[in-house]
Amino acid sequence: MAKRMFSGIQPSGNLHIGNYFGAIRPWVALQEQYEGIFCIVNLHAITVVQPPEDLRNWTRELAAWYLASGIDPQRSIIFVQSHVPPHAELGWILQCVAHFGELARMTQFKSKAEDREVVLAGLFTYPTLMAADILLYQTELVPVGEDQRQHVELTRDLADRFNHQYAPVFTLPQLYTPPEGARIMALDDPHKKMSKSSPSDASRIHLLDSPEQIVEKIAHAVTDSGREIRFDRETKPGVSNLLEIYAAATGKEMAEIEAHFAGQGYGTLKREVADALIAELAPVQDRFRQLMRENDLLDHLLAEGAQKAQAIAAETLRRVKDAIGLL
């Protein structure tokens, strides 16, 4: 049996190139070696309040982006988290395995909670639901961006604790982050990560941005003092972020890229980064638009995906309940 990978993205806004290079594109490549299970985590998305109509649209769009980027529904399972009830059930059970203190240490929770007046309880227990997602499928590999490292480590801790406390039910998953693109930074501030939720549209490149928008946003990206084009996150965070985007879009090695830009100015760098992004995204955008015209096909694939996921998840959940003594 092929080893399994599991990953997911929240339908909580328009996707950007951080989501693409950090997550979706590595999934596509890893499909060669792993059986992929890719979730649209709408239960995670409601840990902050979402307008219902947006949530519905983003959910469909996310399914279309998975497919447009090259997730093959013949080989991999694509499904919506709320369609498979074992996620919520195991999520609860893992809240009764996790410690309050370890959830309180999650840096994503701390930074998201800091920005808001009302913090929903679900935002705090979010990592237990993510652990449930992963553990239901006896996942071996979790390909995600760097910001999810702590959540995957917690998932391993919870699985290990459960296995010792009750019975050895869960496989311990490994984290996978891509060599390039695991942490794309905001264009207007290379000290912050590019994110769906930043109020500034200029901070990120959306997957649907037009060539003109891409050229414009890259042209306005913050660079650094000096003129040298060199990869060094400490002293040249802006230029390094552009070089990393270029590396992710072209698949070239950093040494080769630095040699290519030696003696050139920031203007040339920005033009070439924009061109590389446009070339990478254009075919994905075409397929996305095509898929969004085929609503029935998307719904059919998601229903089929949910059925396959449910069969695997229900079996794990049965073993969990049995181990705990839930009659």
Residues that bind ligand TRP (CB under 6 A): 6-8, 10, 41, 44, 130, 133-134, 142, 144, 148, 151
- The gap between the terminal CA atoms of the chain, to the nearest Å, is 32
Q: What token pair was written down for 127?
A: 């990592």
Q: What is the CA radius of gyration of the chain?
A: 20
Nearer to ligand TRP, 8 or 26 (CB): 8
Contact residue for ligand AMP among 132, 134, 136, 144 (CB under 6 A): 144
Q: Which does 136 bind (CB under 5 to 8 A by kind): ligand AMP, ligand TRP, none?
A: none
C-alpha to C-alpha distance for 232 and 243, rounded to whole angstroms: 10
Catalytic residue ranges: 112, 193, 196
Q: Which does 142 bind (CB under 5 to 8 A by kind): ligand TRP, ligand AMP, none?
A: ligand TRP
Contact residue for ligand AMP among 147, 157, 189, 275 (CB under 6 A): 147
Closest approach of ligand AMP to the CB of residue 19, in Å: 4
Q: Which residue has the tokens 């006896």?
A: 138
Q: How many residues bind ligand AMP (CB under 6 A)?
A: 18
Q: What would the 3-class secondary structure string for the chain be?
A: CCCEEEEEECCCCCCEHHHHHHHHHHHHHHCCCCEEEEEECHHHHCCCCCCHHHHHHHHHHHHHHHHHHCCCCCCCEEEEHHHCCHHHHHHHHHHCCCCHHHHHCCHHHHHHHHCCCCCCHHHHHHHHHHHHHHHCCCCCEEECCHHHHHHHHHHHHHHHHHHHHCCCCCCCCEEECCCCCCCCEECCEEEEECCCCCCCHHHCCECCCCHHHHHHHHHCCCCCCCCCCCCCCCCCHHHHHHHHHHHHHHCCCHHHHHHHHCCCCHHHHHHHHHHHHHHHHHHHHHHHHHHHCCHHHHHHHHHHHHHHHHHHHHHHHHHHHHHHCCC
Nearer to ligand TRP, 125 or 148 (CB): 148
278 binding ligand AMP? (CB under 6 A): no
- Measured at CB, which residue is nearest to ligand AMP? 22
Q: Which does 270 bind (CB under 5 to 8 A by kind): ligand TRP, ligand AMP, none?
A: none
151 binding ligand AMP? (CB under 6 A): no
Closest approach of ligand TRP to the CB of residue 303, in Å: 21
Closest approach of ligand AMP to the CB of residue 265, in Å: 26
Q: Which does 183 bind (CB under 5 to 8 A by kind): ligand AMP, ligand TRP, none?
A: ligand AMP
Q: Which does 133 bind (CB under 5 to 8 A by kind): ligand AMP, ligand TRP, none?
A: ligand TRP
Nearer to ligand TRP, 126 or 288 (CB): 126
Q: Which does 134 bind (CB under 5 to 8 A by kind): ligand AMP, ligand TRP, none?
A: ligand TRP
43 binding ligand AMP? (CB under 6 A): no
10 binding ligand AMP? (CB under 6 A): yes
- The footprint of ligand AMP (CB under 6 A) covers 9-10, 18-19, 22-23, 144-145, 147-148, 181-184, 193-196
